[in-house]
Amino acid sequence: MLQRLLTGLLTLFVVISLTFVLLRLMPGGPFDQERRVPPAIKANMEACYHLNEPLWKQYLLYVGGVAHGDLGPSYKYKSRTVTDIVGEATFTSAKLGFMALLVGGLSGVALGAMAGLSRNRWVDGLLTLLGVASISTPLFIFGGLLVLLFALTLNWLPAATLETSAHYILPVLSLSLMPFSYAFLLTRTTVRETRSRQYVLIKRSEGLSEGTIAVRHVLRNSLIPLVSILGPLAAAIITGSFAVEYIFAIPGLGRHFVTAVTNRDYTLVMGITIVYGVALILFNTFTDILYGFLDPRLREESRS
């Protein structure tokens, strides 16, 4: 556990450093898109945010601020700090992501188990086709189709923002596509493999019903590998939130990230990157630790 946490801290430091350098290498700056101002005023604006300092000094100033919990001021939202913006947006994105993970994960496990346990080739084939199609469809295409069908054509659901409960339906369905596909395909594969294991055949020869064998022995052992994809599922939801939040005009981290990159708002991009990096590192670390508890063989390999 200590090794995982130390590796996570080192990874976060590398992510912060690379992002800081790459942002400075991008063409343009935070004040280049403003209306034309006299050079003296622009120089004062850059001096206010220490952008006139050497790159190494800017880096040390920023890392020192992050170490003290200060993510700096936003270059575009001058009346707000990056900490305030990220704090509000994180709650919105986390709530949306949790709902999408719940909907996509549960439906993927249910349909994957159905496909894995089914002896009907047509049922298995149709469900497998659904899983492959879901993992192959870009989220911005899927979200756009949902808006076109349910909001613009049928006029059943609102198309943007999160004002009421009905506003959550289309964004959650769009964002749940990736967790659904991951959970479905993995559950189907592991269930089909577990069905042919020796201990399952022994239980069947003892006279247990197929329902008891499926629930107690097949599904129970097939769901353990799902823990290993918690990290990729979190990554899929985070990357998917960029497109989904922008399509549905949701004031979450994904939408702020896209607009911050467009506006060259260095500190806001860095703040959101840090939040995403911490989230992914914590998810992966938690997954490794939990999987080690569930499967003692991994702990033995680590000791050896």
Identify whether 86 is part of a domain: yes
Question: 37 vs 22, 141, 244, CA distance in Å?
Answer: 26, 41, 36
Q: Are 42 and 31 in contact (CB under 8 A)?
A: yes
Say which CATH number the domain at 154 has. Answer: 1.10.3720.10
60 versus 292: the higher-pLDDT residue is 60
CA-based R_g, the chain, Å: 24
- CA dist 233 and 86 (Å) reads 22
Q: What percent of the chain has pLDDT over 90?
A: 11
* Total domain count, the chain: 1
pLDDT for res 294: 67
pLDDT for res 18: 94
pLDDT for res 114: 84
pLDDT, tens digit, 9 for 90 and up, residues 101-157 = 889 888 988 888 888 887 777 887 888 888 888 888 888 888 889 999 998 898 898
Amino acid at 149: L
Q: Which residues pair with 73 in a beta bridge?
A: 81
pLDDT, tens digit, 9 for 90 and up, residues 202-229 = 877 777 777 777 777 777 777 777 777 7
Torsion of CA 129, 131, 132, 134, to 10 degrees: 120
pLDDT for res 14: 93
Identify whether 2 is part of a domain: no
Average pLDDT of every residue of the chain: 82
Identify whether 285 is part of a domain: yes
Identify whether 32 is part of a domain: no
Identify whether 156 is part of a domain: yes
pLDDT, tens digit, 9 for 90 and up, residues 172-201 = 998 888 888 888 888 888 888 887 777 777
SS (H, E, C) the chain: CHHHHHHHHHHHHHHHHHHHHHHHHCCCCCCCCCCCCCHHHHHHHHHHCCCCCCHHHHHHHHHHHHHCCCCCECCCCCCCEHHHHHHHHHHHHHHHHHHHHHHHHHHHHHHHHHHHHCCCHHHHHHHHHHHHHHHHCCHHHHHHHHHHHHHHHCCCCCCCCCCCHHHHHHHHHHHCHHHHHHHHHHHHHHHHHHHCCHHHHHHHHCCCCHHHHHHHHHHHHHCHHHHHHHHHHHHHHHHHHHHHHHHCCCCCHHHHHHHHHHHCCHHHHHHHHHHHHHHHHHHHHHHHHHHHHHCHHHHHHHHC
- Domain hosting residue 296, numbered range: 82-303
CA-closest candidate to residue 23, choices 210, 269, 286, 244: 269
Q: Which residues pair with 81 in a beta bridge?
A: 73
Identify whether 11 is part of a domain: no
Identify whether 48 is part of a domain: no
pLDDT, tens digit, 9 for 90 and up, residues 258-269 = 888 888 888 999
pTM: predicted TM-score of the whole model, two decimal places: 0.78
Identify whether 208 is part of a domain: yes
